[in-house]
Amino acid sequence: MKSSRQDVEAPADRREAAVCAIVLVGFMGAGKTSVGRELGRRLGWPFVDLDDRVEAREKQTIAEIFGSSGEAEFRRAEHDALEELLKEVEGGPRVIAVGGGAFAQAENTSLLDATMAATVFLDASVDELWKRCGDDPTERPLRRDEQIFRQLYESRRPLYLRAQVHVDTAGKEVSHIAQEIATSLGLKQRSAGEET
């Protein structure tokens, strides 16, 4: 799939400025957590999954928050957790994976725009994402009906395409995707034997 931006290229001003965080965005099943962990390891940066942060703050799973309080309450908790995380980057850079709907919320993109966070869209076809989610034991409240899943993907994809970097993940290993991201942002990667 093609984007309006050149694949795996960050704008020159983003490459030249110090990146304080890399925020991985994309639909459920895109590989944000797996790629985020590998990218954090390569860069020597802490990795944080926003969904994990929400669950820790709320003392409930995402599915429980959706079930007991609804999506609006989950989005509020997600925004608060993202705001907290972005304040932490002042203490050092982070790799952050955000849930599939986080980047589709205007208040979250405003927060990201106000920082020097580089946003990276991990893309794949809707068929591939549906399959990946089916193979994953994680409970996903918005993956119960394939038609709704596809409609949600189609409505969110144009928003994901606003990210500064676009990486097509189809047929690529996690390590290769992480390397592409680091290279596109001009970030130094640790060698295999280097201490973390």
Q: Is the pLDDT of residue 21 over 70?
A: yes
CATH number where 58 lies:
3.40.50.300
Give kind and range of the element (H or E) at residue 114: none
| DSSP per-residue string spanning 38-79 | HHHHHHT--EEEHHHHHHHHHTS-HHHHHHHH-HHHHHHHHH
- How high is the pLDDT of residue 144? 67
189 belongs to a structural domain: no
Question: 156-188 pLDDT, tens per residue?
Answer: 999 999 999 999 998 899 999 999 999 999 998
Question: 92-105 pLDDT, tens per residue?
Answer: 899 999 988 899 99
Question: 22-75 pLDDT, tens per residue?
Answer: 999 999 889 999 999 999 999 999 999 999 999 999 999 988 998 899 889 999
194 belongs to a structural domain: no
Q: pTM for this structure? A: 0.84
More confident residue, 143 or 194: 143
- How high is the pLDDT of residue 7? 47
187 belongs to a structural domain: no
In degrees, rounded to 5, the angle at the alpha carbon of residue 156 between the alpha carbons of residues 150 and 157 is 85
190 belongs to a structural domain: no
Cβ count near 74 (within 10 Å) = 24
Domain range for 82: 12-180
**What is the total count of domains within the chain?**
1
Q: Is the pLDDT of residue 150 over 50?
A: yes
158 belongs to a structural domain: yes
- How high is the pLDDT of residue 151? 92
